[in-house]
């Protein structure tokens, strides 16, 4: 697996590195460690007839300091990854952070982009920083958003789950039968999970409106609803059987209600370490790059989220 991890040296970036080293990854995985340096420039004082030159020189010095800091981050985090046995390449780019990361993804064509939920410029009140939000929507590959343990979320901080105590990661796979969801299942099947993971497969049946229906239509709706729930449970169980070839501990679960809220709720209920979800569901409009459910989950989940895309670049780990 070809992985690009974007770092800025913040605690959230360090949490992303630590989480990545805990994931069961294919043996041939390679990591590109990327740091992007903003290109600072004066907006007004640079053209001042008296102090413009001094301001320009000060900004150049500041730019050199940023570049030196980026090199230190690369060296430190490259050592950490190499010490854990990873094959690592490093890259440093300059410019707008989100734009440069997207451009790097277009050039390197990774299977997965890994990033912390917030960077050094993140506001504590936000679940995701502005760069993470932009990459969630615009990155041309699958995205893993790593949230640190002190991340704010609904319900407050979660207690340490048994999966973490035993060293086993807890995965929640959201499945709706869409191509992106099927790609997420293929990702799970490709990972050497074994005893190191507990996987829950979740299907959610959206509620159907009864507004304006007569009694006969409501009876028909009840029959359709029951059939849909039974099919959803069967789909969860079949998907769990498929993933069982890679993981020893797999279970199936079906819920009804709003898919976005149910996925986030079940993630908290099962103390999930990672949600794996397709970028778009069956109901998503094709022109939208990220579906409403995956977007909501990425923003509000109480744990890390792996959003799987089937679009460019081609995902090499799939046959």
Q: Across residues 41-63, what is the average pLDDT?
A: 68
Q: Across residues 30-58, what is the average pLDDT?
A: 73
Q: What beta strand segments (E) does 234-298 contain?
A: 247-256, 274-278
What span, in angstroms and rounded, lies between the C-alpha atoms of 134 and 128?
A: 10
Query: Which of 131, 152, 173 delimits the end of a domain?
Result: 152
- My answer on whether 142 and 9 are in the same domain is yes
State the pLDDT confidence band at 97, using cuts at 50, 70 and 90. confident
Q: Across residues 22-38, what is the average pLDDT?
A: 91
Per-residue pLDDT tens for 230-263? Answer: 999 999 999 999 999 999 999 999 999 899 999 9
Q: What is the pLDDT of residue 319?
A: 36
Q: What is the pLDDT of residue 211?
A: 62
- My answer on whether 38 and 133 are in the same domain is yes
Query: Which of 152, 173, 194 delimits the end of a domain?
Result: 152
CATH for 225: 3.40.50.620
State yes or no: pLDDT of 71 exceeds 60: yes
Per-residue pLDDT tens for 188-201? Answer: 999 999 998 999 99
State the pLDDT confidence band at 287, using cuts at 50, 70 and 90. very low
How many domains does one find in the chain?
Answer: 2
- My answer on whether 157 and 41 are in the same domain is no
- My answer on whether 142 and 189 are in the same domain is no
Q: Across residues 174-190, what is the average pLDDT?
A: 94
State the pLDDT confidence band at 150, using cuts at 50, 70 and 90. low
- Say if residues 129 and 122 touch (Cβ distance below 8 Å): yes
State yes or no: pLDDT of 177 exceeds 80: yes
Domain that holds residue 285: 153-319
Q: Across residues 121-130, what is the average pLDDT?
A: 43
State yes or no: pLDDT of 282 exceeds 70: no
Read off φ and ψ for residue 214, nearest 5 degrees: -85, 180
State yes or no: pLDDT of 160 exceeds 60: no
Sign of the dihedral through C-alpha 12, 17, 21, 27? positive
Q: Across residues 266-285, what is the average pLDDT?
A: 83
- My answer on whether 157 and 291 are in the same domain is yes
State yes or no: pLDDT of 113 exceeds 50: yes
- My answer on whether 120 and 159 are in the same domain is no
The count of residues in the chain is 319
State yes or no: pLDDT of 50 exceeds 90: no
Q: What is the pLDDT of residue 51?
A: 64
State the pLDDT confidence band at 44, using cuts at 50, 70 and 90. low
- My answer on whether 173 and 92 are in the same domain is no
Task: Return the DSSP state at 280.
Answer: S
Greatest mean pLDDT among 11-20, 43-52, 132-141 lies in 11-20
Query: Which of 95, 126, 152 delimits the end of a domain?
Result: 152
Q: What is the pLDDT of residue 240?
A: 97
- My answer on whether 106 and 7 are in the same domain is yes
State yes or no: pLDDT of 142 exceeds 90: yes
- My answer on whether 313 and 166 are in the same domain is yes
- My answer on whether 229 and 265 are in the same domain is yes
State the pLDDT confidence band at 132, using cuts at 50, 70 and 90. confident
What's the order of all strands across the beta sheet hosting 274-278?
87-94, 30-37, 2-7, 112-116, 142-146, 304-308, 274-278, 169-174, 194-205, 247-256
Q: What is the pLDDT of residue 42?
A: 60
State yes or no: pLDDT of 47 exceeds 80: no
- My answer on whether 124 and 159 are in the same domain is no
Per-residue pLDDT tens for 306-319? Answer: 999 875 443 343 33
- My answer on whether 187 and 313 are in the same domain is yes
State the pLDDT confidence band at 55, using cuts at 50, 70 and 90. low
For residue 92, CA distances in Å to 3, 66, 307 come to: 16, 11, 25
């Amino acid at each position: 697996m070809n992985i690009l991890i974007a770092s800025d040296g913040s605690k959230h970036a360090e949490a992303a590195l630590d989480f990545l080293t805990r994931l069961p990854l294919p043996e041939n995985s390679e990591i590109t460690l990327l740091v992007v340096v903003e290109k600072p420039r004066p907006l007004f004082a640079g053209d001042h007839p008296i102090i413009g030159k001094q301001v320009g020189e000060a900004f150049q010095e500041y730019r050199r300091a940023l570049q030196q800091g980026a090199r230190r981050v690369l060296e430190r985090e490259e050592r950490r990854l190499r010490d854990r046995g990873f094959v690592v390449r490093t890259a440093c780019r300059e410019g707008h952070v989100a734009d440069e990361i997207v451009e790097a993804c277009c050039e390197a064509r990774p299977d997965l982009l890994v990033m912390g939920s917030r960077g050094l410029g993140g506001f504590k009140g936000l679940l995701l920083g502005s760069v993470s939000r932009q990459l969630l929507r615009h990155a041309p590959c699958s995205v893993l958003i790593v949230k640190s343990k002190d991340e704010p979320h609904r319900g407050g901080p979660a207690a340490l789950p048994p999966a973490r105590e035993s060293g086993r990661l807890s995965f929640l796979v959201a499945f709706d039968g869409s191509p992106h969801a099927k790609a997420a299942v293929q990702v799970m099947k490709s990972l050497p999970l074994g005893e190191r993971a507990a996987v829950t497969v979740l299907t959610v049946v959206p509620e159907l409106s009864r507004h304006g229906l007569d009694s006969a239509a409501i009876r028909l709706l009840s029959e359709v609803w029951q059939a849909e729930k039974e099919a959803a449970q069967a789909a969860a169980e079949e998907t769990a059987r498929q993933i069982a070839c890679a993981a020893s501990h797999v279970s199936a679960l079906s819920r009804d209600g709003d898919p976005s809220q149910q996925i986030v709720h079940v993630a908290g209920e099962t103390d999930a370490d990672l949600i794996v979800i397709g970028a778009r569901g069956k109901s998503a409009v094709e022109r939208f790059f990220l579906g409403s459910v995956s977007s909501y989950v990425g923003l509000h989940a109480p744990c890390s989220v792996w959003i799987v895309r089937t679009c460019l670049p081609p995902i090499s780990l799939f046959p």
